[in-house]
Amino acid sequence: MKPKTLLVTGLACFALGVSSMALVGARSEASDDLYRELKPLMETVTLIQGSYVDEDKAKSKDLIQAAIKGMVGNLDPFSQYMDVQENNDMKQETQGSFGGLGIEITVKNKVLTVVSPIEDTPADKAGLKTGDGILKINGEPTDSLQLMDAVHKLRGEPGTKVTITVFRDSFTSPKDFTLTRAVIKIRTVKSNMLEDKVGYIRLSQFMGSFDSDFEKALQGLKDKGATDLIVDVRNNPGGLLDASAAIASHFVPKGETVVSIAGRGKGSVKTYSSDGGLGWKGPLVVLINGGSASASEILAGAVQDTATGVIVGVKSFGKGSVQTIMSLSDGSALRLTTAKYLTPKGRTIHGLGITPDVEAEDELLSKVYVELADKGLFESFAKEYLAGHPGFNFDDEAKKAVKVSDTWEHLKPETRESKVAKDFMDYVQSRSKDFTDEELIRDRGRIMGRIKEEIVRLGKGEDAARAVALANDSQIRRALDVLKVAELMKGRSRGK
């Protein structure tokens, strides 16, 4: 079975070619040195098997696997040895459906770290964030775990629970999150029409039938009259590079470089060029953040270097290496770093990330908002409110003025939003004395945005709820501003 390349489907031949040349040119004395250096390893295995007190721990297969894991684990955080089960899990994950929490993790500065939670999964709903450090899994410290060992501990049967201990810069001390595992079915491409003929495509991972799904979404938006486009790869941890190159081809002019892959040997460079795709010519914004990694950075780097769009957000993660999956004879595999990728202008991203053209920090969540979300009060209020107000929608207007609380009086005519705000404050106060009216009023805009989102989700479904969430997203609003400037400049150019 030929090796499969995570990030580069089709790099297998390139990777094998380098290995083959190395083997052909190897001198016999180098082989002798290798066998001589392996001798202490075999001696150690023999001694452990013959003398170690716990015979169950001295099985040759376990010892060899442990030796391989140690060998590969000493290379870099992304190279891994995967036993048969782990290899099968990886194959399942790249097909877009697997069981677990819905979280992408890596090892950063020797700490198990969240790259990004996957949208609409237990990890996302629990409030895990990019950069969170996972210190313990079910009480067991993670500092000595291999990456794939940690993945296995996080996964499990759907419906079972796992508790992870997390530290975040904004925490004064580590905090436990208990999550319920679920079958993770990733909807990698979502699209909406926004205001003023702006199309929006959300990409959560570069997996499965991603490239064809993206093309359908893009064509669908064009058919609906979209003239401007926002492509959102925030918290997208990456995936298959072929898919990323295919997406970039819709924006990068035909024949121009999308990305280059540089291996170890001289001349071992493979270049991916644009095939032109659907040939999008309108204004384009690509949204990134600290959870945008790997294949997401390839897309952003290609758009930025070819000046086909504007990158908006905050600096990306900085994961610019290529892992090739190399199958072993017993069904296990190596996930080995074989190359680094370069943007069209030859920039390396590994450890550096993509710096946006327009900085747009996400609004920090207030302590009150986070605590309301942690207690599940938004969801529970929405369910109770809809049960008591069948057919409710925010468009209907009432006619009288309203006094929302003793300290908060609206002078404008009462709206449905005003009534919901009052009812929510009463609901919160009846269930918790941790919040004052003043605290709720101070964060009223974000709180009401979330309430609207939950009510719309229950009443009209996930797509309608996403539209509400997008309207309240400060980075989306910044992207829309950038597109308006682009349209203005294009109009002035036409006027000339």
User: Catalytic amino acids?
Assistant: 294, 305, 319
- Distance (Å, rounded) from C-alpha 57 to C-alpha 21? 39
> Which residues touch 279 (CB under 8 Å, ≥6 apart)?
250, 254
Contact 339, 389 (CB under 8 A): no
Contact 316, 347 (CB under 8 A): no
Candidates 142, 8, 150; CA nearest to 86 is 150
Contact 246, 211 (CB under 8 A): yes
Helix-strand-coil percent breakdown of the chain, rounded to 5? 40, 25, 35
Collapsing DSSP states into helix, strand and coil, what is residue 344? coil
- Distance (Å, rounded) from C-alpha 420 to C-alpha 313? 32
- Distance (Å, rounded) from C-alpha 1 to C-alpha 4? 9
Residue with tokens 């918290």: 235
Contact 174, 92 (CB under 8 A): no
Candidates 373, 241, 378, 387; CA nearest to 302 is 241
